[in-house]
Each structure stands twice: as structure tokens, then as C-alpha cells.
Structure 1
């Protein structure tokens, strides 16, 4: 009986996730239209800020101005993420992520606090690598550390902002963040995306959940062992 109950529960969950193909196609088209129109308008409107930041970074840290890194996208397909650079080059012995906090410059800290460092990711949205709303793209090395449920966050394109960002951002634990990501995968809609985008403005202005204590953003994610 417990096995039958578990199978029935799994079946019901799968039924919840099954969507009308026509509605899925319409939602995908609307989402892409929103992504392209909003990101193009944003880049055009913010061009003076982007130019000013580029000059400031070139003056204080030299080149490169942009931070580029491979991140996993939809269905784990890698793409090159673009952000403004916020950290100086590492000195000897500063190669690990535990030294990231010490390497953030004064300008870099301001860019992170205001989320201006994220603006170049709008280019990723235009390219189709990302969406405006979706789970945040993390590191490639995390792929083998997810549980099957956590890995479902890659069933959709990663986003500039997302449901986890609206519910705590980097102040959340990894498990809480992944749970929010999977919830978004199962409940995504154009209306929800618009709500998240509007709420993002308030979060950015309040500067909520930018980082965890003693970390530039969050500590390294490691898979939990069965006894943890």
C-alpha cells in the first residue's frame, strides 16, 4: 500500500505538470516577445549608464570591462554569461572563491549593491540564451551536485531575475532557492513574469538579500550527503 500510494502521488504530480501544448506555445511566444522588447528598450534607455560604467571600470581596473563565464542554460546547454566586472585580478593565493569578497573593488561593490553589474545580461536575453525571468544561471560545476528535483530548474531558460530573487535572493539557503526555482518551473506564466519584474524594481531599490554574511554572494554549493 505505501508503494501504491507513492506511485499515485507521483502520477498526480505529473498530471499537474502536464500543460496544453497550444497554451505552452502561446506562452513561449509571449515570453520571447516580452524578453526581446523589454531588453532592447532597456539597453537603449540605459546606454548612458552603461557607457559611464564602462569608462569607470576601464579607469579603475583596466580591461576586460565585462566578466564572461560559461553557465548552464536550458537543458544544461552552456552559454557565455555577460556581466560588468566587479573584482580586481587575484593576487597570489587569492585564486579560490573564498577570496572573492576581498577582491571586490569599491566601484564593484556599488555595482553589485545596485544590480547595475547585471545589465549586460540583457544582451544574453536578446541572444536567446536567457529570459528576463527564470532561475538564476549558476556554475557549470554544480550540475553534478543537484538532486533530480533540483535539476528541474534547467527545464526553462535561466533569468535575469526570478521567483527566488523575490523571496529572499542570496539570503536564502541553497535548498530554499532551488525549491523556489522548481516552483517557478511548474507555475510560470506571462502574468507571473510581469509580477516578478515589477517586484524586482522594489527589491533592487531596497538592496535586499544581496549577499550572505562573510560572502561576496553565497557560499559554494555542495550536494548533501544522505545523513545530512
Structure 2
């Protein structure tokens, strides 16, 4: 079954819970339902990723956004614990921008920072989940993330994809590896970390 067909089926099956989530977010997030951001896809093509909006747009006196932990809503925490905030990415799959399994799509700002080895992660479509996510998710540092991303690109096969899917479902149920050392989101990538470890 193709990713496009499966995403279409899932969007139909999950339409009611997605409408319920959207309705709640519409009320508590000042009518803002989706979080949209430019990300890097296959062959470094830029696309817009969709997620359910889990944070407010609260700012400090200078107009700067407050830290993530001060903007994350209780309902947003619930969505993240069950990875339900990722469901709108089914539309990204339907549009041919993502797949179910693959390296997670990262920020456009990171493009100049990659080594040639790390850029291999862009040889495949980014995924809703991947080898790095089931191996630690945001609890991994960038070296380990990139190493696992490249490992997936080099060894990807149906058996590996099935294991990743089952591991993902298990992680969601057990709510494992949600954050990195208590962080709401993973720390930004700021340097040329190579996949063998170390900072260049």
C-alpha cells in the first residue's frame, strides 16, 4: 500500500478526533489551530510542515516570545504526550512532501551547518517517525540523531520500517522519550557535529 493511499485512509479514519482537536484548539488558542513552519525535505527541497498548535504566542515586555515551557498549554502537553500534534503531517504525506518513516524534517536554518555525511539524511523523504525517534527521540544529542538518520538512509528496508512502526506505537503508549533532559523541545543545532561524535 502506497504512502499516499494509506495517508488518505488514515485521514478519513481519524477525521472525527482531528475535528475535535481542532475545535478545542480553536477555542483555547485564539482561533489558531495549526503550527506551520518551513522545513527541509528530500533533496533539500523546502516545504511547509503542519502540526497542531500546542503553544500560545505569549510574549514578554520586549515583544520576544516567552520560553517554550511558559507557552505550552495543558491541552498541548496532552497532545504531545500521545504525539497527536503530529497528525496534520498526514496532509504533508498526501502532498508527497513526507513519508511515514524517515529522518525527521529539520529547520531550514540548519542547512549551512551540515557536514557532507549529515546531508545524506536528505536523500530520502522525511518521516513522521524514524530510527532516531524510536532510539531516543529528543533525549538524543545531535551526534546520535544524525548518526541514526544516516544509518537509516544506508540500510533502509521493509523489515526496518516495520520495526520502527511497532517501536513508535510502543513509545507513544508508554510515553517514552518525550523530551530532552526535561526540555519541552530539543535544543537547537548550532554547530557542525559530525556523525562520529565531536564538534567541528
TM over 0.5: yes
- Which secondary structure does the structure 1 equivalent of 2:67 belong to? helix
What is the match of residue 215 of structure 1?
Answer: 183
**Which residue among 32, 39, 45 is the counterpart of 1:64?**
32
Question: Displaced runs of 4+ in structure 1, greater than 6 A?
Answer: 225-228
2-side partners of 1:214 and 1:221: how far apart? 17
Q: CA deviation at 1:214?
A: 4.1
CA deviation string 1:184-228 (max 9, x = no partner): 000112232222112211011111111112421211111148876
How far, CA to CA, are the matches of 2:109 and 2:54 in structure 1?
22
What is the rounded CA distance, in whole Å, between the counterparts of 1:109 and 1:209 in structure 2? 14
Counterpart in the other structure of 1:204: 172
Q: For the residues of structure 2 that align with 1:169 and 1:83, how far apart are their CA atoms?
A: 17
Structure 1 residues 198, 34: CA separation in 2 closer, same or farther (over 3 Å shift)?
A: farther
Equivalent runs, 1:1-228 vs 2, <5 Å: 33-92=1-60, 93=62, 95=64, 99-224=67-192
TM-score by length of 2: 0.91
**Take 2:158 and 2:64, find their aligned partners in 1: how far apart are those partners?**
41
For residues 1-46 of structure 1, what are the alpha-carbon distances to aligned partners after superposition, in whole Å with 9 as ceiling and x for unaligned? Answer: xxxxxxxxxxxxxxxxxxxxxxxxxxxxxxxx43123212211111
Structure 1 residues 192 and 118: alpha-carbon distance in aligned structure 2, compared to 1, 3 A threshold: same
Gaps of 5+ in 2: none
Q: State which structure, 1 or 2, has the greater radius of gyration over its C-alpha atoms.
A: 1
**Normalization by structure 1: what TM-score?**
0.80
Q: Secondary structure at the match of 1:136?
A: coil
Provide the rounded CA distance (Å) in 1 between the counterparts of 2:64 and 2:126: 27
CA distance in 2: counterparts of 1:49 and 1:227, whole angstroms: 43
User: Within 1, Cα distance between the matches of 2:154 and 2:129?
Assistant: 17
Paired residues in the alignment total: 195
**Secondary structure of the structure 2 residue equivalent to 1:79:** strand
